[in-house]
Amino acid sequence: MLSIKELRASVEDKDILQGLSLDVGPGEVHAIMGPNGAGKSTLGHVLSGRPGYEVVSGSVDFDGRDLFAMETEERAQAGLFLAFQYPVEIPGVSNMEFLKASVDAVREAKSLEALDSVSFMKRAREACKAVNLSVDFLKRGVNEGFSGGEKKRNELMQMMLLEPKLCILDETDSGLDIDALQVVAAGVNAMRSADRSFIVVTHYQRLLDYIEPDFVHVLAGGRIVRSGGKELALELESKGYAWLDGAA
Nearest distance in Å: CB 247, ligand ADP: 12
Query: For binding to ligand ADP (CB under 6 A), which residues are involved?
Result: 11-12, 14, 16, 34, 36-42, 52
Residue closer to ligand ADP, measured from CB, 96 or 168: 168
Shortest Å, Cβ 216 to ligand ADP:
15
- With respect to Mg ion, which residue has the nearer C-beta, 41 or 154? 41
Q: State the nearest-atom distance from the C-beta of 16 to Mg ion, in Å.
A: 11
Q: Does 42 bind Mg ion (CB under 5 A)?
A: no
Partner that binds at residue 12, options Mg ion, ligand ADP, none, CB closer than 5 to 8 Å by kind: ligand ADP
Q: Report d(CA 238, CA 240) in Å as an integer.
A: 6
Residue number with CB closer to ligand ADP (25 or 240): 240
User: Does 41 sit near Mg ion (CB under 5 A)?
Assistant: yes
- Report what 77 binds from ligand ADP, Mg ion, none; CB cut-off 5-8 Å by kind: none
Nearer to ligand ADP, 28 or 171 (CB): 171
Choose among 248, 216, 169: nearest CA to 32.
216
Choice between 96 and 173, CB closer to Mg ion: 173
Taking the complex as a whole, the smallest distance from the CB of residue 43 to ligand ADP amounts, in Å, to: 7
* DSSP codes, the chain: -EEEEEEEEEETTEEEEEEEEEEE-TT-EEEEE--TTSSHHHHHHHHHT-TTEEEEEEEEEETTEEGGGS-HHHHHHTTEEEE-SSPPPEEEEEHHHHHHHHHHHHHHHTTPPPPPHHHHHHHHHHHHHHTT--GGGGTSEETTT--HHHHHHHHHHHHHHH--SEEEEESTTTT--HHHHHHHHHHHHHH-BTTBEEEEE-S-THHHHHS--SEEEEEETTEEEEEE-THHHHHHHHH-STTSTT--
* 33-41, 115-123, 188-196, 215-223 -> range binding Mg ion (CB under 5 A): 33-41
Residues near 17 by beta carbon (within 8 Å), at least 6 away in sequence = 7, 8, 9, 10, 39, 42, 43, 46, 222, 223
Least gap, CB of 34 to Mg ion (angstroms): 9
- In the bound state, the residue with its beta carbon closest to Mg ion is 41
> Measured from the CB of residue 46, what is the shortest distance to Mg ion in angstroms?
13
Q: Which is nearer to ligand ADP, 11 or 70 (CB)?
A: 11
Which residues of the chain form contacts with Mg ion (CB under 5 A)?
36, 40-41
